[in-house]
Amino acid sequence: MIKSNTNDNLQINGKILKSRFFIGTGKFSNNRNMPDVIHAANASVVTVALRRANQGSHEENILDYIPDDVILMPNTSGARTADEAIRIAHLSKAMGCGSWIKIEVISDNRYLLPDNMETLKASETLVKEGFTVLPYISPDLMTAKRLCDTGVAAVMPFAAPIGSNRGLRTKELVQILIDEIDLPVVVDAGIGKPSEAAECMEMGAAAVLVNTAVATAKDPLKMAQAFSKAVDAGRTAYLAGIGRVLGTISASASSPLTGFLHKEEA
């Protein structure tokens, strides 16, 4: 009997995750469906953001809609500098929601590309303070190596600009990170379709984080299921080892070339 790999859990900072799918909670048309979507996704990590409270209104508490069996990972979105990211991380901790933090430092309002240098600075500080730090970065090898040296728990390169659903535009750069970095590489932002999540996993990514593609789907629950299956399929394919790719456009028969059923011509 062929044995399958049954012990393939992703560990981040010693925490065993139940799946390799991370999901964001922005842009959903309402919060009420969120628990069902998160369960359909079998998501292991769920991201939230911090913002100024809407004063005087009885705003819903988003945490009421996040199941207990996931890891909550607030992000530092809105931060334009390392100091602002650190401040948001401190606020997040003060709100009693654990020590996981996705560092996101963005001052480019057009493409929303991360500032790797400020991200590195924020990560250095927050790792020293005991946070489990997952920095969102442009897929640059040297930045990723420096982040690893600081003690971050994973690196999160983008696939395409945030919310664009444009797919894995940074494929070759992400592959370099996967090949050269010893920490988990979680592909974040820009993934628009389950097939693209599967592609990330086939390449050896440790996990993917998706938000817009699920939240803006016609049926978010069904899309969450599709992403979950795609992540599993991609991971299984990676573990199986992708078959060789021919260097030419000619074919290579996968069936034997002898013993045909038709009569040989004289």
Chain contacts with another protein (rule: CB under 8 A): 23-28, 31, 34, 47-53, 55-59, 61-64, 74-75, 77-78, 90-91, 94-97, 104, 106, 112, 136, 162-163, 188-189, 209-212, 215
CB of 188 to another protein, least distance (A): 7
| Whole-angstrom distance, CA of residue 157 vs CA of residue 187 | 5
Shortest approach of another protein to residue 50 CB, angstroms? 5
Contact 23, 194 (CB under 8 A): no
Catalytic residue among 93, 102, 193, 263: 102
Nearer to another protein, 33 or 236 (CB): 33
Q: Is 145 an active-site residue?
A: no
Chain centroid to CA 168? 12
Residue nearer to another protein on the CB measure, 152 or 189 = 189
3-state secondary structure of 28: coil
The arrangement of strands across the sheet holding 132-137 comes to 100-103, 132-137, 156-157
3-state SS of 126-160 is HHHCCCEEEEEECCCHHHHHHHHHHCCCCEEEECC
Cβ distance to another protein smaller for residue 112 or 237: 112
Nearer residue to another protein within complex by CB, 100 or 136:
136
Amino acid at residue number 24: G
Helix (H, G, I), strand (E, B) or coil at 120: helix
Residue indicated by tokens 């640059």: 140
Q: Which 3 state secondary structure label does DSSP give 40?
A: helix
Packing angle between helix 141-150 and helix 116-128, nearest 10 degrees? 10
Closer residue to another protein in complex, CB, 91/239: 91
User: How would you class 208 by CB atoms within 10 Å of its CB: exposed for 0-12, middle for 13-18, buried for 19 or more?
Assistant: buried
Q: What is the closest distance, in whole angstroms, from the C-beta atom of residue 52 to another protein in the complex?
A: 5
CB of 170 to another protein, least distance (A): 15
CB of 143 to another protein, least distance (A): 17
Termini Cα distance of the chain: 45
Active site residues: 102
